[in-house]
Structure 1
Amino acid sequence: MGIWQQRPRDDHPTGRVVAFDIETIVDHEPADGGFPPIPQHRPVTAAFLAATRAADGSHDFQLDVLVCRPGEEERFYRKVDTCLPAGVVGIGWNSKGFDLAVLRIQAMSHQIFGLEGLARQAQAGRYDTIHCDLADQMSGYGSSRTLSLAAVCETLQIPVKTSTHGCDVGALWRAGDVDAVMRYVCEDVIATWICWLHWAAWKNADPSEMALPLADFAVWLQTTPAFEPFRGFAECPPARWALANAPGLRAARASADAERRLAQERDEQAFAASAR
């Protein structure tokens, strides 16, 4: 009997997602300048952007930024775990190939177990809907060359890596400039989430999947003083498009929901009348 591979469904729920990213250092850079093997990477910062759609269609956000200093591994990994609760869709860029692989092996190296949220994401299959690796999605599951986050953001006009680059993280960390590394990881996670919105709108053929959450996010950034360094994301072309289009799309969605409720009430009344 033949065994048939299940076709990917790409139906990740969009109502409750957490985009995340980590920054790492290695103790010894390879002499040939190559990329160090995954087991040599140690996370030093991580960022988690949670976006939740409420019943009324509005969106709530939370941005958590974590730092992992020597001796603080237990606290760091327990907090990572709480940032990935059951019911969310984890969003990352090359997250299956790097971020989750690093987090998994480093947590094991410190004998930190019982991390159900992190394990759920790290052990998710390639086609599972609880995790979305956007680098894998954008390449058509390997059908084309894997793209970098920076290259995609340049095309989509999303600001990213405006303050530093990944190759600078080690030097910044060793120099004690933790704030610069934290800002960098936040920029990457916000950019990843905005890429996800583009992907969700494209996949579902529904512009409201991008316009509504991004418009709410832009307002959130503009009205939260602590996020002043990231205001550029509220003013980039995708955010301006979202702010311009969200009112009409929100009204259209409300009208469609109202019509759906009226149709349901008519059906219920007709059924009740026929049962008399």
Structure 2
Amino acid sequence: MYDIETVVGEADTPVDGSFPPWPRHRPVSAAFLRARWTTAGYVFSLNTLMSVPGGEAAFYQEVERQLPSNVTGISFNGRGFDNRVLSIQAMKHSPGLSLAGLARQCFAGRFDGAHCDLADQFGGLGGARPVALAEICHALDVPIKTSTSGGDVGALWIAGQHQAIRDYVREDVLATYLCWLHFIAFIKSDEALLTLPLAQLSAWIESEPGLAHLKPFADCRPARAARARAPALRAAAALKDAERRAAQDRDEAAFAAGAASPF
């Protein structure tokens, strides 16, 4: 799961005040959220990068480490913006670096397993006009833009308020993840795919002092519902697993008895 924040130079800002074309943008921050399933449940990590003048090559090397070739990257409008910006700026600042994972993400097709663009998915793969992440979040009761907005990033960057930008890009990547959980649970018809990771994410946020600014994601309606529902789902899963193991033991015992019989 990833998201970037960008700035444009004064000379690159259209005189009519419209949103500048993506080749004029350069990333100043990126956030990467990983959710890994283990036997103990979901394990999360959240990494945030800043790109400062002169440090662009190091920035893209770290982006590459966050997006290895064996993962599926998930974004919101990554195909239309984030990946386009990352690719053109990496070409500019890191032409000699091996960035196979980043290139795989940036040029993944709409139906490529390398990347899932939630803007595409929620929009029915072109069936509806594009909407902003905030619209999806409002519809699902997911927090969004709790501290600032994308339009403020340029001014924050000029003012040297890098921590505010870090907090903001982290909020957006968490919002993207909650939207992903809703999406995958719906298409798989499996409540557990939303409830269990969201309950654990909520507990993780509350346990990490450095994530205090993300508390709205632990307190939102979907998170509260997930934490209330998760114990029952875990109990049901444990019972199902116990029944499966008992059936397997019976089958193995019956097989062993049959193999031992002379008839």
State the Cα distance separating 1:261 from its structure 2 match: 2.9
Question: Match for residue 61 of structure 2?
Answer: 78
Amino acid at match of 1:184: Y
Question: Match for residue 252 of structure 1?
Answer: 236
Matched pairs, number: 257
Question: Match for residue 97 of structure 1?
Answer: 80
1:229-264 deviation per Cα after TM superposition (whole angstroms, max 9, x unaligned): 111111110110110001101111122222233334
- SS in structure 2 opposite 1:176? coil
The question of whether the paired residues in 2 share the 8 Å contact of 1:53 and 1:59 is answered with yes
Amino acid at match of 2:48: V
State the Cα distance separating 1:198 from its structure 2 match: 0.5
1:47-196, aligned counterparts within 5 Å? 47-56=31-40, 58-110=41-93, 111-196=95-180
Question: Match for residue 7 of structure 1?
Answer: none
For normalisation by structure 2, the TM-score amounts to 0.92
Amino acid at match of 1:47: A
Structure-2 change in CA distance of 1:138 and 1:24 (3 Å): same
Taking only the aligned residue pairs, the percentage that are identical comes to: 52
- SS in structure 2 opposite 1:231? helix
Question: Match for residue 22 of structure 1?
Answer: 4
- SS in structure 2 opposite 1:71? coil
State the Cα distance separating 1:101 from its structure 2 match: 1.2
State the Cα distance separating 1:92 from its structure 2 match: 0.5
What is the alpha-carbon distance in structure 2 between the residues aligned to residue 262 and residue 122 of structure 1?
47
Give unmatched runs, 5+ long, in structure 2. none
1:56-82 deviation per Cα after TM superposition (whole angstroms, max 9, x unaligned): 4x1111110100000001110111111
What is the alpha-carbon distance in structure 1 between the residues aligned to residue 134 and residue 226 of structure 2?
21
What is the alpha-carbon distance in structure 2 between the residues aligned to residue 77 and residue 160 of structure 1?
27
Q: Which has the larger radius of gyration?
A: 2
What is the alpha-carbon distance in structure 2 between the residues aligned to residue 101 and residue 275 of structure 1?
63
1:119-144 deviation per Cα after TM superposition (whole angstroms, max 9, x unaligned): 22223221122321000000110011
Amino acid at match of 1:38: W
The range that moved more, 110-119 or 211-220, is 110-119
- SS in structure 1 opposite 2:43? strand
State the Cα distance separating 1:270 from its structure 2 match: 4.6
What is the alpha-carbon distance in structure 2 between the residues aligned to residue 112 and residue 22 of structure 1?
23
State the Cα distance separating 1:268 from its structure 2 match: 4.3
The question of whether the paired residues in 2 share the 8 Å contact of 1:138 and 1:147 is answered with no
Structure-2 change in CA distance of 1:52 and 1:114 (3 Å): same
